[in-house]
Amino acid sequence: MKKVLSIAGSDCSGGAGIQADLKTFSAHGVFGMSVIVSIVAENTSRVIDIQDVTPDMIQKQIDAVFEDIEVDAVKIGMLSTPYCMKAVAEKLRQYKPKNIVIDPVMYAKNGCPLMNPNAVDTLIKVVIPCADILTPNIPEAEKISGMTISSMEDMEAAAKRIYEMGCRNVIVKGGHAIGNAVDVLYDGRQFYHYETYRINTKNTHGTGCTFSSAITSNLALGLPVPQAVEQAKQYVTTAIEHALSIGKGNGPTHHFYDLYRNGLQKSEVL
C-alpha cells in the first residue's frame, strides 16, 4: 500500500483542504495521512475564522509521521503565514521525501483569503524551491510571477517564470479562465496542455485540492509526471461533473470510488 501525506488546512465543511485530500487519496487506493497546519472555520459560502497551529506543533506532527512511516508522496496545501511555511520547509529539507506536490493556496472559492498577503515573499523564497510540482491557479500564478495572465501565451510565460524560481515542474491551472478548462504543465523543457470542456456549475469548492491530491496519489503509485497529471485531470473533471449541491454557496467535488476505478462516465480529456 502506498502512503501519502497531506500537509494543509482543515475545512470543517468537508469540501476542501485536508478533508478533500483524504477523500481523494482513498479513491486512488493509497493510504492517506494528515498534518494540520491551520483550522479553518469555513463552509461553502464563507470563511468565518482561521486558527493556525503553532510551528512547533506542525513540526511535531511531521516528525510523528516520518519517524514511523515511509512516505511515498507529500501534498502541501494551505500555509497561511511565513511561520507555517518555514516550519514545513525546514522539515521537508530534513526528511527529503519524494514526490512533493505544492498547491500554493491563497483564496477560498468564495474569495476569502487563506494566505496572509505578506507571505508571498516567503512562499517564493522558501516554499517553491521544495516543490517537485507546483500547481497555482491563474490568480496565484499572477501573484507569484508578477505578470497579468489573459491568454494561453501568458499562462506559458508565467509557468516559465515560476519554474525559474526553483520548482521542478509547474502547472498553471485554467479553472479561472474563460472557455475550455486548459491546464499547462512546464517541466523546464516543454509544455503539456490538458484540456476539457468547461463544466457549467458553481460547485467548484475543493477543485484545486482534489486535483493536487490526485496528482500526488498518482506519483506515489509510480506514474511519471505527465501521466500523473493527465489522470488527475480526468479524476478532477469527473469529481466536478458529479459535484454535490451541498450548502448555500459553492458545493464540493464528489469522490466516488466506482466512478473512477470502473471508468463509468469518466470524462475524456480532449
Ligand X SMILES: Cc1ncc(COP(=O)(O)O)c(N)n1
Q: Does 105 bind ligand X (CB under 6 A)?
A: yes
Report strand pairing: 47-52 vs 133-134. unpaired
Cell of 117: 498577503
Q: Does 143 bind ligand ADP (CB under 6 A)?
A: no
Q: Does 104 bind ligand ADP (CB under 6 A)?
A: no
Of residues 4, 5, 7, 9, which one binds ligand X by CB under 6 A? Answer: 9
Q: Pick from ligand X, ligand ADP, none: which does 176 bind, CB < 5 to 8 A by kind?
A: ligand ADP
In the complex, minimum distance from the CB of residue 43 to ligand ADP, in angstroms, rounded to a whole number = 16
86 is catalytic: no
In the complex, minimum distance from the CB of residue 214 to ligand X, in angstroms, rounded to a whole number = 12
Of residues 4, 35, 53, 108, which one binds ligand X by CB under 6 A? Answer: 108
Using CB under 6 A, which residues numbered 11 to 40 contact ligand X? 11, 16-17, 40
Of residues 75, 233, 254, 255, which one binds ligand ADP by CB under 6 A? Answer: 233
Nearer to ligand ADP, 32 or 136 (CB): 136
Q: Does 100 bind ligand X (CB under 6 A)?
A: no
Secondary structure (H, E, C), the chain: CCEEEEEEEEECCCCCHHHHHHHHHHHCCCEEEEEEEEEEEECCCCEEEEEECCHHHHHHHHHHHHCCCCCCEEEECCCCCHHHHHHHHHHHHHHCCCCEEECCCCECCCCCECCCHHHHHHHHHHHHHHCCEECCEHHHHHHHHCCCCCCHHHHHHHHHHHHCCCCCCEEEECCCCCCCEEEEEECCCCEEEEEECCCCCCCCECHHHHHHHHHHHHHHCCCCHHHHHHHHHHHHHHHHHCCCCCCCCCCECCCCHHHHHCCCCCCCCC
**Residues 206, 210, 238, 253: which is the catalytic one?**
206
173 is catalytic: yes
Using CB under 6 A, which residues numbered 160 to 189 contact ligand X? none
Nearer to ligand X, 2 or 109 (CB): 109
The residue sitting closest to ligand X, measured at its beta carbon, is 17
207 is catalytic: yes
**Residues 44, 204, 237, 253: which is the catalytic one?**
204
CB 59 within 8 A of CB 44: no
In the complex, minimum distance from the CB of residue 222 to ligand X, in angstroms, rounded to a whole number = 25
Q: Does 183 bind ligand ADP (CB under 6 A)?
A: yes
Nearer to ligand X, 82 or 206 (CB): 206
Task: Name the residues that contact ligand ADP, by CB under 6 A.
Answer: 137, 173-176, 181, 183, 196, 198-199, 204, 207-208, 211, 233, 236-237, 240
